[in-house]
């Protein structure tokens, strides 16, 4: 049986955050039932159509999956139950102030074994400026509750480089350090720390906020790396840190260009060298028209090799030469030798133990490397 990943999108949120550009809605809770009935149809279809597939990673993301009743999650799990590998990593995204101990226990019983909690910051004022619905204390409580419910594998999302939004102060190095200190004391296994990107169409963008000074942004990154390493986390991707053994298997799948199936609004799939995408039009989706045919991208071998390198370099270990050889029956030095040497000369990557990976400078200017492979 072929092993792949499964992504399920749940596009509901109590409130849209000011920086958020994901496909999610705070005004469509009336359609929750309607949405899930279509999601189940699509999921069942995918399962029936791909009988040879089993899932070794499942990721229920959003939106805020925890903003809807846990029976929907239970039903998802029951549809896919027979197709999960025994060691399958099943993650669900939750937000503070949307879960209680019962909901969390429901998830656990249904087979979810990893939680990803969107916390973003432990500073009250920054939470407000980001448009989060929860307080700093509620965030802490949610983590503790998750542990109490029995979750052993918990991620929290944090954001740094928060600009001055709507008259609030921008994030300081001191704020960030404080947030990291709290995070490290919560007994969690994984931290995603993102430098905020102001995406078009978000409130932050429309309000005309400007990025914080990029020197400060980098200081925050170094601070993060330094502190988390002290507490036993290892950086394994540009924005991701884990206690060894707790790396996100689902996300690594993306970075290793392995296959995945997406279900739900605006989800993407990558199967047999073709990338498909579902519509981002909510009403089209609940009208039964799931896929957006215009977004289908057929990758040729060169595309695949380029993506393998581009995404591979997101990981601290860099793209794996053996996997490259196994997949493409070529030596990546034969294909990309010149580019890799050039990037090495520019000090962006370095060869260690037969693998190329990012230098500290390469971490700051990773796009320079990615752009070589698009």
Partner 1 sequence: MDNIRNFCIIAHIDHGKSTLADRILQETGVLTEREMEEQVLDNMELEKERGITIKAQSVRLNYKADDGKEYIFNLIDTPGHVDFNYEVSRTLAACEGAILVVDSSQGVEAQTLANVYQAIDNNLEIVPVINKIDLPSARPDEVKKEIEDVIGIPCDDAPLVSAKVGIGIHDVLEAIVAKIPAPVSTPGQPCRALVFDSFYDTYKGVIVYCRVMDGSIKKGDTIRFMQSGKEYLVTEVGWFKPGTTIQSQEISAGEVGYIAAAIKNITDATVGDTITLANNPAKEPLPGYKEVQSMVYCGFYPIDGSDYENLRDALFKLQLNDAALIFEPETSQALGFGFRCGFLGLLHLEIIQERISREHNIDLITTTPSVIYHIYKTDGSMETLDNPTNMPNPTDIMRIEEPIVKASIMTPTEYVGNIMDLTTERRGTFINMDYLEETRVIMTYELPLNEVIYDFFDSLKSRTRGYASLNYELIGYKPSNLVKLDILLNNEMIDALSFIVHADKAYTRGRKIASKLKESIPRQQFEIPIQACIGSKIIARETVKAYRKDVLAKCYGGDITRKKKLLEKQKEGKKRMREFGSVEVPQEAFLSVLKLDE
Residue ranges binding partner 1 (CB under 8 A): 7, 22, 61, 194-197, 214-215, 217-218, 238-239, 251, 254-255, 260, 262, 266-270, 275, 277, 295, 297, 307, 310-311, 314, 363-368, 370-371, 374
**In the chain, helix, strand, coil percent, each to 5?**
45, 25, 35
Report in angstroms how near the CB of residue 346 gets to partner 1 at its nearest.
9
Report in angstroms how near the CB of residue 288 gets to partner 1 at its nearest.
22
Residue 299's nearest CA partner among 319, 327, 326 is 327
Residues 6 or more apart whose CB falls under 8 angstroms from that of 98 comprise 14, 64, 66, 67
* Residue (89 or 106) nearer to partner 1, CB: 89
* Residue (105 or 291) nearer to partner 1, CB: 291
The partner residues of 241 in beta bridges, in order of sequence, read 191, 235
- H-helix or E-strand spanning residue 62: strand 53-62
Q: Round to whole Å and give the CA distance between 56 and 114.
A: 13
Report in angstroms how near the CB of residue 215 gets to partner 1 at its nearest.
5
* Residue (64 or 269) nearer to partner 1, CB: 269
Report in angstroms how near the CB of residue 158 gets to partner 1 at its nearest.
11
Burial class (CB in 10 A: 0-12, 13-18, 19+), 81: exposed
* Residue (63 or 96) nearer to partner 1, CB: 63
Q: Round to whole Å and give the CA distance between 146 and 118.
A: 13
* Residue (86 or 293) nearer to partner 1, CB: 293
Report in angstroms how near the CB of residue 314 gets to partner 1 at its nearest.
6
Q: Are strands 114-120 and 153-160 parallel, antiparallel or unpaired?
A: parallel
CB 58 within 8 A of CB 83: no
ω before 282 within 30° of 0 (cis)?
Answer: no
* Residue (195 or 235) nearer to partner 1, CB: 195
Report in angstroms how near the CB of residue 351 gets to partner 1 at its nearest.
21
Residues across the chain: 374
């Amino acid at each position: 049986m072929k092993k792949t990943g499964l992504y399920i999108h749940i596009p509901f949120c109590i409130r849209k955050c000011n920086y958020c550009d994901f496909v999610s809605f705070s005004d469509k809770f009336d359609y929750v039932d309607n949405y899930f009935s279509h999601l189940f149809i699509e999921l069942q279809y995918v399962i029936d159509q791909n009988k040879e597939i089993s899932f070794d990673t499942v990721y229920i993301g959003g939106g805020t999956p925890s903003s809807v009743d846990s029976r929907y999650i239970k039903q998802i799990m029951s549809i896919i139950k027979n197709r999960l590998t025994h060691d399958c990593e099943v993650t669900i995204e939750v937000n503070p102030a949307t879960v209680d101990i019962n909901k969390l226990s429901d998830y656990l019983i249904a087979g979810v074994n990893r939680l990803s909690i969107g916390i973003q910051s432990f500073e009250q004022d920054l939470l407000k400026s980001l448009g989060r619905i929860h307080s700093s204390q509620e965030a802490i409580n949610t983590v503790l509750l998750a542990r109490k419910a029995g979750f052993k594998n918990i991620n929290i999302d944090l954001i740094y480089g928060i600009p001055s939004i709507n008259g609030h102060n921008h994030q300081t190095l001191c704020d960030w350090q404080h947030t990291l200190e709290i995070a490290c004391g919560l007994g969690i296994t994984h931290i995603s720390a993102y430098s905020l990107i102001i995406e078009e169409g978000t409130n932050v963008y429309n309000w005309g906020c400007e990025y914080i000074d990029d020197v400060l942004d980098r200081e925050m990154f170094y601070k993060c790396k330094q502190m988390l390493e002290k507490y036993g986390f290892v950086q394994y991707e540009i924005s991701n840190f884990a206690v060894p053994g707790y790396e996100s298997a689902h996300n690594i799948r993306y970075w290793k260009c392995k296959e995945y199936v997406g279900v739900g609004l605006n989800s993407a799939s990558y199967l047999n060298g073709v990338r498909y995408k579902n519509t981002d039009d909510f009403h089209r989706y609940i009208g039964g028209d799931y896929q957006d045919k215009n977004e289908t991208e057929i990758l040729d071998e060169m595309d695949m090799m380029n993506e393998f390198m581009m995404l591979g370099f997101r990981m601290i270990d860099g793209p794996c030469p053996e996997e490259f050889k196994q997949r493409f029956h070529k030596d990546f030095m034969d294909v990309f030798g010149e580019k890799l040497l050039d990037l090495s000369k520019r000090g962006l990557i370095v060869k260690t133990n037969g693998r190329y990976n990012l230098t500290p400078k390469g971490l700051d200017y990773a796009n320079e490397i990615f752009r070589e492979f698009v």
